Amino acid sequence: MILDGKALSEKRLEILKERIEESGLHPHLATVLVGQDPGSQLYVRMKHRACERVGIGSVGIELPETATTQEVLSAVNRLNNDSEISGILVQLPLPAQVDTEQVISAVLPEKDVDGFHPLNIGKLYTGHPGFVPCTPQGVMTILSEYGIETAGKRAVVMGRSVDVGRPMAALLLNADATVTICHSRTRDLATVTREADILISAIGKPRFVTTEMVKEGAVVIDVGTNRDENGKLCGDVDFDAVKERASAITPVPGGVGPMTIATLMENTFAAARARSCGPVL
């Protein structure tokens, strides 16, 4: 079975658009982009297009590549103090001279629709999540919408990044899976991954996950976005080979990526609802 994140995101965005219209609210998302990285510019444009589609207002703050930490903090603080802004997204990665941790911590937790503020990460790890990072939450939505059970299942997460791997593991643990995190120092990696009922890869290596690493009938979620030697977009998983072994698998593109943006839109509406009538998370 192909887990079609694009089709699922289309469905959820249509539902969200109706909910926003019925609510009478006017959510607004602000993005902060530092520099002119083409990939970051593309992602920001996609987020603004999604906002327009569902009826969320959006504003983009662009700063030069040479911006200092203080300049980025000033932009974030202006957005924090703007009552019209429901959610704030600082596009990562930031240039090397900018203190990313300080910037992320400066975003008000109630406007942190990316789910990276230490308070929101802490709430996730205590089992009482507020805003959750969009990509891991998008994965959980895919599993739920396709009726894939997590309770009691063995889940292996490849990658320990703060934005995907670690929160992904926490969400699976909160959903009663037995979770293992693998990383660059994991020994006998394939032995570990073959134990997984649910295998999630977020390592950023093109077609790294082969059939020898996947248990027959496993659910395989590919979070990777890479370019192969020919410049073609691909995931971490050798899709054509692994799809014959897996019971369900996400493609790249068209899998997790669209759900990341859909989740961001849902988080922004949730932030607007919370400001209007109390938390709905």
Q: What is the pLDDT of residue 25?
A: 96
Tell me, what's the pLDDT at 277? 76
What's the pLDDT score for residue 276? 86
Establish whether the linkage from the previous residue to 258 is cis, with ω within 30° of 0.
Answer: no
Whether omega before 93 lies within 30 degrees of 0, making that bond cis, reads yes
What does the pLDDT read at residue 3? 98
Going by C-beta distance under 8 Å and a sequence separation of 6 or more, which residues neighbour residue 140?
171, 172, 175
Active site (annotated) includes residue 205? no
Q: Is the pLDDT of residue 143 over 60?
A: yes
pLDDT, tens only, 94-103: 999 999 999 9
- List 4, 111, 112, 114, catalytic entry: 114
Across the chain, what does the average pLDDT equal?
96
Domain 134-256 CATH class label: alpha beta
163 noted as active-site residue: no
**What is the C-alpha to C-alpha distance for residues 216 and 245, in angstroms, rounded to an integer?**
5
Residues in binding site for NADP(+): 159-161, 225
The mean pLDDT value for 173-197 works out to 97
User: pLDDT digit string (tens) for 44-98?
Assistant: 999 999 999 999 999 999 999 999 999 999 999 999 999 999 999 999 999 999 9
CATH number for the 25-109 domain, one of 3.40.50.10860, 3.40.50.1220, 3.40.50.1980, 3.40.50.10490? 3.40.50.10860
The one catalytic residue in 91, 112, 197, 238 is: 91
Known active-site residue 114:
yes
* CATH 3.40.50.720, the chain: domain bounds: 134-256
Confidence of residue 279 (pLDDT cuts 50, 70, 90): low
Average pLDDT over residues 228-250: 95
Q: Which residue among the candidates 4, 47, 153, 236 is catalytic per the annotation?
A: 47
| CATH 3.40.50.10860 residue window(s) in the chain | 25-109
In the predicted model, is pLDDT for residue 280 greater than 50? Answer: no
Q: Per-residue pLDDT tens for 12-54?
A: 999 999 999 999 999 999 999 999 999 899 999 999 999 999 9
- Secondary structure of the chain in HEC code, one letter for each residue: CECCHHHHHHHHHHHHHHHHHHHCCCCEEEEEEECCCHHHHHHHHHHHHHHHHHCCEEEEEEECCCCCHHHHHHHHHHHHCCCCCCEEEECCCCCCCCCHHHHHHHCCHHHCCCCCCHHHHHHHHCCCCCCCCHHHHHHHHHHHHCCCCCCCCEEEEECCCCCCHHHHHHHHHHCCCEEEEECCCCCCHHHHHCCCCEEEECCCCCCCECHHHCCCCCEEEECCCEECCCCCEECCECHHHHCCCCCEECCCCCCHHHHHHHHHHHHHHHHHHHHHHCCCC
Using left for φ > 0, alpha for ψ between -120 and 50, and beta otherwise, residue 200 falls in beta
What average pLDDT does this structure show over 115-140? 96
pLDDT for 144 beyond 90: yes
Q: Is the pLDDT of residue 194 over 80?
A: yes
Binding site, annotated residues: 159-161, 225
